[in-house]
Amino acid sequence: MVDTLIRGGTVVTESDTFEADIGITGERIVTVGDETEMSEAETVVDATDKLVLPGVVDPHVHIDDMFSFDTYESASKAAALGGTTTFIDFAWEAWVGETSLWDEPGTILEGIERKRDKAEKPVVDFGLHGAITREDESVFEEIEAVIEAGVPTFKLFTAYEFGLRNGFMDRTFRELADHDAIAVLHSEDADLLDYLADRFQAEGKGDPEWYPRSRPDYAEAMAAEDAVRMAMEAGCRYYGIHTTCRKSAEVLAQYREAFGEEMVRAETCTHYTTLDDSIFEEMGLLPMIAPPIRKPADNDAMFEHLARGTLDVVSTDHCGYTKESKQVDNWWDSKFGANALQTSLPVFHDEAINERDYSYPFLVRTMCTNPARVFGLSEKGTLEPGTDADVLVFDPEATYTITAEDNASVADFSIYEGREVTGRVEKTFVRGELVADDGEIVGEPGHGRFVERDLPDWEF
């Protein structure tokens, strides 16, 4: 007797596609196999003609801070509707500045506590990255405790007012390497970006199409080269977050070849695989994301490098901003970022499978299995018996049009507005509980919980 039997569907794993039933008891998957192996079930879900996938693991989202108006409840509802069963947000070291929320500096441990307090009512599970925002050596004293709190990955920025200069960055890689922790890098050359932004402002070039020109692809590649080189010198494991373009991916590919995938891993985001900079003309500042959406040739490059393995993961960089906060007169006064938790899987599925003919295991690898492994979520991203029953029933034939009217996020727009996609999330289970069903949230807010992550093993 199992609690739930998902019967008659096509199961997809990172390497295979096969007909099987899935039995869930309590929070775990207990069997994957032929229905005859299973006794009765309390609940039977008919998955005939449907796919059964592991829940999506999104390792890059922003919730309830200066980069998102979403609460844990609103963002996690968007996640559940879109098939994401675990996401990783950020625990910020408080800094004082124009874009900060704080009057005085603070620690990452305080950042973890703050986010865990805010996460009162998530519907899906979540983890946190630490974010080092100040050139203050006292942060090195808390690294051990942060890792013990289940946060073994640390985001570093090369740009913005909370960016680190190369000297402190180099030191930080050495300290992280001592703990076998992972550096997660936002890389764009700050000098170049600041110069271009100042120049465009002086010249009054505030229209949306000037925005991507203020943050060129080579600025991303330059900073990636500096950062990954320093990380390898220090022996620190490196994760290139939101890779957008061929130039940057080529830098990472070179270091990955030289130092191995146990040292260098990377992601791109859904929008960098399927949107290009013609969108600025169409949608103004709504798709203003940093780094910017690039050229069609960069979309192709993202797929090439996902297939080659330079890029392991597809994430969202979800930011829950409203139209009002985005559509201002000049791009430099706008918020950077856009919501995508609810649309990421349907959009990437449609692009990768229907448009570009990639396989279902490719989809599961890049959105479920790889992000779980890269970030030390051993119970997630897989349908292996014994792991968390984070499971999706997905209809690959259902066609619908994306509109922000369906948004569960506080964000009232979508960068995919009007896009017709084939493939729809029908049911989302998080640890055995049905949380989203046919476009409705049916799970209890608060079902989701904080997942303490282990130090990831990158030998896979």
Nearest distance in Å: CB 227, Zn ion: 16
Nearest distance in Å: CB 219, Zn ion: 17
425 strand-pairing partners: 394
Residue 225 or 317: the one with the smaller Cβ distance to Zn ion is 317
Nearest distance in Å: CB 457, Zn ion: 25
Residue 239 or 360: the one with the smaller Cβ distance to Zn ion is 239
Residue 52 or 285: the one with the smaller Cβ distance to Zn ion is 285
Piece of the chain touching Zn ion by CB under 5 A; list 222-230, 307-315, 317-325, 401-409: 317-325
Nearest distance in Å: CB 291, Zn ion: 10
Nearest distance in Å: CB 210, Zn ion: 22
Residue 11 or 290: the one with the smaller Cβ distance to Zn ion is 290
Nearest distance in Å: CB 46, Zn ion: 39
Q: What is the separation of C-alpha 275 from the centre of its chain, rounded to a whole number of angstroms?
A: 17
Residue 92 or 416: the one with the smaller Cβ distance to Zn ion is 92
Piece of the chain touching Zn ion by CB under 5 A; list 190-198, 310-318, 393-401, 418-426: 310-318
Question: Scanning residues 29 to 68, which ones bind Zn ion (CB under 5 A)?
Answer: none
Piece of the chain touching Zn ion by CB under 5 A; list 121-129, 150-158, 201-209, 316-324: 316-324
Question: Scanning residues 401 to 440, which ones bind Zn ion (CB under 5 A)?
Answer: none
Nearest distance in Å: CB 60, Zn ion: 6
Piece of the chain touching Zn ion by CB under 5 A; list 94-102, 112-120, 309-317, 410-418: 309-317
Closest CA relative to residue 22, chosen from 13, 396, 14: 13
Nearest distance in Å: CB 90, Zn ion: 8
Residue 317 or 379: the one with the smaller Cβ distance to Zn ion is 317
Residue 90 or 413: the one with the smaller Cβ distance to Zn ion is 90
Residue 317 or 351: the one with the smaller Cβ distance to Zn ion is 317
**Gap between the terminal Cα atoms of the chain:** 35
Residue 93 or 317: the one with the smaller Cβ distance to Zn ion is 317
CA distance 278 to 284: 10
Piece of the chain touching Zn ion by CB under 5 A; list 128-136, 312-320, 322-330, 403-411: 312-320
What is the crossing angle of helices 296-308 and 246-259, to 10°?
A: 20
CB 70 within 8 A of CB 410: yes
CA distance 120 to 23: 30
Using CB under 5 A, count the residues that bind Zn ion: 1
Does 317 sit near Zn ion (CB under 5 A)?
yes
Piece of the chain touching Zn ion by CB under 5 A; list 1-9, 74-82, 174-182, 314-322: 314-322
Nearest distance in Å: CB 62, Zn ion: 6
Piece of the chain touching Zn ion by CB under 5 A; list 33-41, 293-301, 311-319, 444-452: 311-319
Torsion angle of alpha carbons 16, 19, 20, 22, nearest 10°?
Answer: 80
Nearest distance in Å: CB 393, Zn ion: 30
Residue 92 or 394: the one with the smaller Cβ distance to Zn ion is 92
Nearest distance in Å: CB 158, Zn ion: 13
Piece of the chain touching Zn ion by CB under 5 A; list 69-77, 98-106, 276-284, 315-323: 315-323
Question: Scanning residues 128 to 157, which ones bind Zn ion (CB under 5 A)?
Answer: none
Torsion angles phi and psi, residue 425, rounded to 5: -75, 125
Q: Tell me which residue has tokens 């409203």.
A: 322
Residues in the site for Zn ion, rule: CB under 5 A?
317
